Amino acid sequence: MVLSQPGSLGHWSGSEPDGSRRRGGSARSQASRLAILAATARLFAVNGYDRLTIEGIAAEARVGKQTIYRWWGSKSALVAECLLEGSLMPAAFVPADTGDLAVDLREWLVELFAFVDEAANASMTRSLFAAAAENEDIGRILGESLGAGSALIRRLRRGVEAGQLGVDAPLPELAKALVGYVIVHALERAGTPPDLPERLVAALLP
Amino acid sequence: MVLSQPGSLGHWSGSEPDGSRRRGGSARSQASRLAILAATARLFAVNGYDRLTIEGIAAEARVGKQTIYRWWGSKSALVAECLLEGSLMPAAFVPADTGDLAVDLREWLVELFAFVDEAANASMTRSLFAAAAENEDIGRILGESLGAGSALIRRLRRGVEAGQLGVDAPLPELAKALVGYVIVHALERAGTPPDLPERLVAALLP
Amino acid sequence: MVLSQPGSLGHWSGSEPDGSRRRGGSARSQASRLAILAATARLFAVNGYDRLTIEGIAAEARVGKQTIYRWWGSKSALVAECLLEGSLMPAAFVPADTGDLAVDLREWLVELFAFVDEAANASMTRSLFAAAAENEDIGRILGESLGAGSALIRRLRRGVEAGQLGVDAPLPELAKALVGYVIVHALERAGTPPDLPERLVAALLP
Amino acid sequence: MVLSQPGSLGHWSGSEPDGSRRRGGSARSQASRLAILAATARLFAVNGYDRLTIEGIAAEARVGKQTIYRWWGSKSALVAECLLEGSLMPAAFVPADTGDLAVDLREWLVELFAFVDEAANASMTRSLFAAAAENEDIGRILGESLGAGSALIRRLRRGVEAGQLGVDAPLPELAKALVGYVIVHALERAGTPPDLPERLVAALLP
DNA sequence: TCCTAAGCGAGACGGTACGTCCGGTCTTTGC
DNA sequence: GCAAAGACCGGACGTACCGTCTCGCTTAGGA
């Protein structure tokens, strides 16, 4: 499994969209921005989404609250940007391509389960689901990170090309079902039997 | 699809667990209890989980805050009980059994998608996911309501018996994948193409 | 000069105006009320009116901000009540009555000037004028405390009866002019020459 | 009563005190300065002293905040300069000299009371007292404007010369008492009976 | 018939966090 | 080098709820 580079989706340049600078005033402080994102990631990991507070972030980042409100409209926007930066979880779980689809999917699931099962990540992951439920962007980015968006589908498509999957297999549905399984699994807080990835692959890729 | 009776999981009797009565004092007020649950359901539907407040519920139910804290330990416990009572969504989506598994699953999915897609339910459903992420009980009850717990598995098992599914099909995994798909779908806030249930059944029940 | 008892204008009894108690809820906490007033008086004396903050008072009194907002609508209402309680300055400067009006007024002025000239009081007194400019109650109570309201007029009236002042002397105007002089004097931050009370009495009581 | 010319105390020339010009750079912008003073006067009249904000003034004057901070050290310095310019109230109330002191004083008081009683001025005047309590300059200028400083004393002195007042009358004390009366009167927010000026003159000029 | 214990409404209380406003400083750009 | 624009840290504002606590009823056994 290969993680795409954190920050590769970055979208902040310090300039106006057209590349010019505004008439007057200081430019946005990159230092403050990074401190805020780092504080958000740290406090999210420690306390979870609902105990995450703007005041706490501002204090941790040694920043005025207004500086947060100036650039992010809400707690969830802040979390969404952290997610994009890859500070909360690997920016994307991408299945490898060894040529054998079943093996690659199994390995991908093993990593995914390992991630969501690890105690340190588990409650944070669930918190992310809560955040996703409140904020569409977070939902989309989270789905993307877990692979449902495109990386997983691309791998499945290569499986079709290799004849390991029927040509008419509904790839997006398969991908969403896989990711959905992982989410339900994480919400259930049940452990992962070692053969689960195997069985799951068998169930969906007969 | 048949909905199980709301309240069939009810667990309140007005007496102590052993059937006796305490020495003195008033019994728990059934009227208050119902008013609280009704207020919770109404406010949850209107405002969602995170804007649901104990004070708001108490005011809406014309009840003292302490009466809520006396019987429920937290906001999420209250929501869990509402969910059990079926005040938030049908207490369970149960696939029918016409003998044709594919048809029954498709119809079950049609109803499920119809429910989560309807604007009035959509944000409330997502709020339930948020609540589930914070509270294990809600997660379990929600999963059960959506069918993953047992009703769906039972239907699948009868499909195996009828030879419509391989004898070694991993039923729990299939069930969780189906429910997971619905959850991801709801989080994505995307509409449902009419043929989606059909395609999904085809994808998972080849 | 005799000071009337601090608190003699007190107006809080812990009961409803009709002597009954409200239907439900705890009674107002006397301890919190006193702590708040004491904190206000202390911080006012130290920092002056404009640097007096509700948050500071709440912290000093170890009280929630809401407890202050529940009972007082504004910073100035709080200061007005402190003034009434006599925590900010003697609740009233009352001229003595030795039979000699000129002597009594002079002594009264000596004490008044001594009070407003003392460094510790001077800026607090000016702050009170600022507060009086914003809040009618404070203005009225302050005027009363300085004697203009009635105590001074009563003393002047006895002077009329003793033939030390013309029967048609406009007593309220004289009283207000005297108090007004003291206020302008305090605003000017100039010291008081020893013979000023004497000259002032001579100027107004010819 | 004659008003001295607004701006007659003006003290800004756009040049250094010695008449030279600084070495390089732009000169102070007269347009900005006037816009700031005008904005201050307008907002002061509308909102009063304590709701007057530097940011509000800057916005109203379409000026950067720094331009204000560069030239005035505080809100009260700004108000003091407005007062000097006569933008807040007539720069000085000066008693006329018809030869009859009692008449002139009465007329002067009539105008003063009329000014202070008018609703549009009343709260602004009180705000000025608040400002005076915080800032010595404002207190001095305000006292001067109201006449206590010198114009009133000069008129009284001519009364002495005309034999309408005893040669040993303590003029400064009388002047301050008169102005003090007006201030207490304004703080009390009570109306002015028509014969008040008459009675007041009678009380202080027997 | 009292006594007594609990349930209940009401709401005060000490707190925490909210989102906004403003103070005073600093930085950037343009004239 | 002044001025506009405005970002920045800090701190107070007044509000909303939290969860706990006390009140003064009411209610319903057991004595």
pLDDT value at residue B5? 36
Which pLDDT score, from 0 to 100, does residue D10 have? Answer: 35
Give the pLDDT of residue C144.
84
Tell me the per-residue pLDDT of B89-129, one tens digit each, with 9 for 90 and over: 887 889 999 999 999 999 999 999 999 988 888 888 899 98
- Using pLDDT thresholds of 50, 70 and 90, give the confidence band for residue B206: low
| pLDDT tops 80 at residue D102 | yes
Share of chain A above pLDDT 90, in %: 45
On the question of pLDDT at C161 being above 90, the answer is yes
Do the Cβ atoms of A174 and B203 come within 8 Å? yes
Q: In the structure encoding, which two tokens stand for residue C65, read together?
A: 């901000």
The two three-digit tokens of residue B131, written as one number: 């609540």
Residue D152 confidence (pLDDT) above 80? yes
Please determine, for residue A187, whether its predicted confidence score (pLDDT) is greater than 90.
no
Terminal C-alpha separation, chain C: 23
Phi-psi region of C62 (alpha: psi -120 to 50; beta: other; left: phi over 0): left
Query: A with C: 3 or more CB pairs under 8 Å?
Result: no
pLDDT band at C7 (very low <50, low <70, confident <90, very high): very low
* Residue given tokens 């305090």 in the structure block: C186
> Average pLDDT of A98-125?
91
**How far is residue D44's CA from residue D88's CA, in Å, rounded to a whole number?**
8
Neighbours of B55 (CB within 10 A): 9
Rounded Cα distance between B93 and B178, Å, is: 13
Domain D92-204 maps to which CATH number in 3.30.420.10, 1.10.357.10, 3.40.190.170, 3.40.50.2300?
A: 1.10.357.10
User: Is the domain covering A2-84 a CATH 3.40.630.30 domain?
Assistant: no
D16-36 pLDDT per residue, tens: 444 444 555 667 778 889 999
Q: What percent of chain C has pLDDT over 70?
A: 88
CB contact under 8 A, B188 and A140: yes
The DSSP letter of residue A191 is -
- Which residue does chain C place closest to D125, by CA atoms? C133
CA dihedral D62, D66, D67, D71 (to 10 degrees): 140
Task: Name the 3-class secondary structure at B58.
Answer: helix
Question: Average model confidence (pLDDT) for chain D?
Answer: 82
* Nucleotide nearest D61, from its CA to each C1': F4
Q: What value, to the nearest 5°, has the Cα angle with vertex A181 and ends A177 and A182?
A: 125
pLDDT of residue D2: 40
| pLDDT over 80 at C12, yes or no | no
Judge contact between B92 and B3, C-beta under 8 A.
Answer: yes
Is D185's CB within 8 Å of C176's CB?
yes
* Of B103 and A120, more confident: B103
Chain D residues near residue C187 by CB distance under 8 angstroms? 129, 132-133, 139, 143
Furthest-apart CA atoms within chain A: distance in Å: 63
**Which percentage of chain D shows pLDDT scores above 90?**
31
Relative to beta strand D93-94, strand D2-3 is antiparallel
Rounded to the nearest integer, the mean pLDDT of chain B is 85
Domains D2-84 and D92-204 share a fold: yes
- Mean pLDDT across chain C, nearest whole number? 85
Where does the pLDDT of residue A149 fall: very low under 50, low under 70, confident under 90, or very high at 90 and above? low
Question: CA-based angle C148:C150:C151, to the nearest 5?
Answer: 90
Q: Of the given ranges (A126-135, C32-41, C102-111), which has the lowest mean pLDDT?
A: A126-135
How far apart CA D114 and CA D97 sit, in angstroms, is 20
pLDDT tops 80 at residue C22 = no
Confidence (pLDDT) at B53: 97
> Mean pLDDT throughout B8-30?
61
| Residue A50 CA distance to nucleotide E4 C1' (Å) | 44
Residue ranges of the domains in chain A? 2-84, 92-204
Provide mean pLDDT across the span C123-147. Answer: 86
Q: Which residue is nearest to nucleotide E11 (CA to C1')?
A: C25
Backbone dihedral region of A62: left (phi > 0), alpha (psi from -120 to 50 degrees) or beta? left
**Contact state of A170 with B200 under an 8 Å Cβ cutoff:** yes
Predicted local confidence at residue B6, as pLDDT: 37
The reported pLDDT for the residue numbered A21 is: 67
Asked if the model's pLDDT at residue A124 lies above 80, the reply is yes
**pLDDT score of D141:** 86
CB atoms within 10 A of CB B87: 19
User: Does residue B158 surpass a pLDDT of 90?
Assistant: yes
Dihedral angle computed from the Cα positions of residues C174, C179, C183 and C184, in that order, rounded to the nearest 10 degrees: 20
CB contact, 8 Å: B43 with chain A? Answer: no
Per-residue pLDDT, D146: 82
Task: Report which residue type is found at B155.
Answer: R
By the CB < 8 Å criterion, does A109 face chain B?
A: no
Q: Which residue intervals of B48-118 are DSSP H helices?
A: 54-61, 65-71, 75-85, 101-117
CA of A23: nearest nucleotide by C1' is: E29
Closest CA–CA distance from residue C196 to any residue of chain D (Å): 9
CA count, 13 A, side-chain hemisphere, B132 = 26
In the A/B pair of chains, how many CB contacts fall below 8 A? 122
Token duo for residue A77: 């926007």
Q: What percent of chain B has pLDDT over 90?
A: 46
Count of beta carbons in the 10 Å neighbourhood of residue A104: 21
> Which is nearest to B135 in space by CA: B88, B184, B77, B186?
B77
Q: pLDDT (tens digit, 9 = 90+) per residue, A161-178?
A: 999 998 888 888 889 889
Residue D61 has pLDDT above 90, yes or no: yes
pLDDT of residue D9: 33
B2 forms beta bridges with B94
DSSP strand E in chain D: where? 2-3, 93-94
Q: What is the pLDDT of residue C5?
A: 36
Query: From the CA of B127, how many Å to the C1' of E29?
Result: 47
Reading phi first (left if > 0) and then psi (alpha if -120 to 50, else beta), residue D151 is in alpha
- The two structure tokens encoding residue B134: 């914070």
C13: DSSP letter: -
Q: How much is the pLDDT for B82?
A: 94
User: How many C-alpha atoms does D1 have within 13 Å on its Cβ side?
Assistant: 23
Please report the pLDDT score of residue D90 as a whole number: 80
pLDDT at D15: 44
Q: How confident is the model at residue A20 (pLDDT cuts 50, 70, 90)?
A: low
Q: What pLDDT, on the 0 to 100 scale, is given for residue B7?
A: 35
Q: What is the mean predicted confidence (pLDDT) over D77-91? A: 86
The mean pLDDT of B126-152, rounded to a whole number, is 85
Q: Do C127 and D133 touch (CB under 8 A)?
A: yes
pLDDT in tens, B32-49: 999 999 999 999 999 999
Residue D148: pLDDT above 80?
no
Which of A52-61, A179-188, B22-31, D109-118 comes out lowest in average pLDDT?
Answer: B22-31
Query: 3-state class of C2 per DSSP?
Result: strand
pLDDT tens-digit profile of C79-112? 999 998 989 888 788 999 999 999 999 999 999 9
Contacts of D172 (CB under 8 A, 6+ apart): D153
Q: Min CA distance, A184 vs chain B (Å)? A: 6
pLDDT at A203: 81
Name residues whose C-beta falls within 8 Å of residue D161's C-beta, 6 or more positions apart in sequence. Answer: none
The tokens for A65 are 């609250």
